[in-house]
Amino acid sequence: MLESIGKGGQRRITNILNYIVPLYIERGILTPETLTLYIRISGDGRNVGRKVKHVMVTMTLLNDLNGLQKPDNNYTLVLYPGAESYESLKNALTPLISDLSILKEKGFDQIGGNHWPVELFFSSDWKFLSICLGIKAANAQHFCPWCDCSKDEINTTTKTINKSMDEIKDNYNQINGHIKKPLFYMIPLQNWVCDELHVFLRITDRLWELMLSDLRRETTNEEIWKEKILLEMQRLKITFQFWREKNSNNLSYTSLMGPDKLKILKEFNLIAIFQSTERAIQIQELWNQFNELYILMQNMQTTGETFHYKAQTWLNAFLAPSKGHPNRSNFVRGMYRIQDVTPYIHVLVNHVAEFIEIHHEFGLTAFLCSAVEKKNHMQVCLYFRNTLKDGEHENSRKSAIVEMLEHEISNYILR
């Protein structure tokens, strides 16, 4: 692996399990009667600095539902410098792929302890998932990891998970959109679960972009609505600003984190921004319906049937056509176009309900990747505060990544 990707580091998943399983038994999280270890694999890439990028792959036990969102309960399996790419991941993950195949087939034999059957799961953002699955990016004609939907059918609401991992593994080059063999071929496709956080973030991004397009259509003087938006952000105590890009002169604005986006979705006063109260109310109703869907995703009592119905209703509202004649008083302008539907909206409407039904014992929140992203942030801080950043004399130099992994191990021991 070092020859292929440089100064990376990895841990054997069996070693981690031999360390944490006794601790989980001691805490009552695992019991011999539990029988099965539910292991979730996740991954993410990050920019550490202007010229440094890291890719991290982690594991956690879904058996510990109350501890899943703690970064320390997501254990680093592989960490290496470089960008997210299929070839680098394939090289880095070779030992892990072998270990996961054995765990899937034979289970885990705890040293001096019990035999545990193993079920494997995968969850990450769309980019990392598509790379590991060997499928084209979200902007491809055939974009969906779970079904055969094309961009021409993106507004369809009746798609289901109609691919299988065995089919993809053996005949990926005959399946639309798939260009490489999946890396985690031992994980069934229904266990590759979408991350509700990224579903929420990317759809709110699209709703915000479409709202700005409505404002541009309403008035050509953008300074008017920009000032109104800034005042509303001040009211909500959200740091936000607009600026022009130097090279293109395109309008850009602050990229907000999840809590601020949720606050905007729930509390932003669109009537104070729009000249047309009617249009503001239309958009507000659409935002409110999406917020309801987000709440339903987080509720373990939600049924797939209920969610699918409400998601279909929301998409119908999103694509509502205009009514009446444009030159008459009874004209009601429609909402958005089919071209405005994104892959994440497709997943929300077609597949989230399926995942709710398939994984009802865990709930979708069990596949949330916010703890992985938090761990990513913590490791960036660790890189700058607690390592030599690959410095020192060449002959005595220790990889910064090895230093980070050693620091993580010491924290586990202290716990």
Between 58 and 379, whose confidence is greater? 58
> Residue 3: pLDDT above 50?
no
Angle between helices 343-350 and 304-318 (to 10 degrees): 140
> Residue 23: pLDDT above 70?
yes
Between 387 and 100, whose confidence is greater? 100
> Residue 266: pLDDT above 70?
yes
Q: Of all residues in the chain, what percent carry a pLDDT higher than 70?
A: 87
| pLDDT for the residue 84 | 86
Q: Is residue 406 part of a domain?
A: yes
Could you give phi then psi for residue 146, rounded to 5 degrees? -110, -20
* Residues 99 and 222 reside in one and the same domain: no
CA distances to 194, 196, 212, 372 from 348, rounded to whole Å, are 9, 9, 23, 22
* Residues 236 and 290 reside in one and the same domain: yes
* Residues 323 and 383 reside in one and the same domain: no
How does residue 393 score in pLDDT terms, banded at 50, 70 and 90? Answer: very low
* Residues 324 and 397 reside in one and the same domain: no
| pLDDT for the residue 155 | 94
* Residues 268 and 401 reside in one and the same domain: no
CA distances to 181, 232, 245, 255, 258 from 242, rounded to whole Å, are 43, 14, 10, 10, 19
Mean pLDDT of the chain: 88
Question: Of 217-221, 323-327, 348-352, which has the strongest mean pLDDT?
Answer: 348-352
> Residue 21: pLDDT above 80?
yes
* Residues 208 and 328 reside in one and the same domain: yes
* Residues 353 and 384 reside in one and the same domain: no
Q: Is residue 285 part of a domain?
A: yes
* Residues 349 and 379 reside in one and the same domain: no
Q: Is residue 391 part of a domain?
A: yes
Q: Is residue 82 part of a domain?
A: yes
* Residues 329 and 388 reside in one and the same domain: no
Bridge partners (DSSP) listed for residue 184: none
Region 10-36 average pLDDT: 88
| pLDDT for the residue 254 | 93
Region 335-355 average pLDDT: 96
pTM of the model: 0.89
| From 72-86, 164-178, 260-274, the region with the lowest mean pLDDT | 72-86
| pLDDT for the residue 131 | 96
Region 366-391 average pLDDT: 69
Could you give phi then psi for residue 190, rounded to 5 degrees? -70, -15
| pLDDT for the residue 411 | 60
* Residues 201 and 345 reside in one and the same domain: yes
Euclidean distance between CA atoms 255 and 410, whole angstroms: 35
| pLDDT for the residue 209 | 96
* Residues 116 and 257 reside in one and the same domain: no
- Fill in the DSSP letter of residue 332: B
Q: Which one of 338, 358, 378 terminates a domain?
A: 358
Q: Considering its fold, how many domains does the chain have in total?
A: 2
Q: Is residue 75 part of a domain?
A: yes
Give the range of the structural domain holding residue 294, as residue numbers without chain letter: 196-358
- 115-116 vs 108-109, strand pairing mode: antiparallel
Alpha-carbon dihedral 369, 371, 373, 379, rounded to 10 degrees: -150
- Do the beta carbons of residue 143 and residue 342 sit within 8 Å? no
| From 17-31, 216-230, 365-379, the region with the lowest mean pLDDT | 365-379
| pLDDT for the residue 81 | 83
| pLDDT for the residue 50 | 66
Q: Is residue 134 part of a domain?
A: no
Q: Of all residues in the chain, what percent carry a pLDDT higher than 90?
A: 66
> Residue 415: pLDDT above 60?
no
**Tokens 């970064």, residue?**
71
* Residues 340 and 382 reside in one and the same domain: no
CA distances to 74, 118, 190, 307, 372 from 57, rounded to whole Å, are 10, 19, 20, 31, 9
> Each residue of 79-128: pLDDT tens digit?
888 788 999 899 889 999 999 999 999 999 988 778 999 999 999 999 99
Q: Is residue 301 part of a domain?
A: yes
Q: Is residue 398 part of a domain?
A: yes
Buried-state track 220-246, b at ≥16 Cβ within 10 A, e below 16: eeeeebbebbeebbeeeebebeeeeee
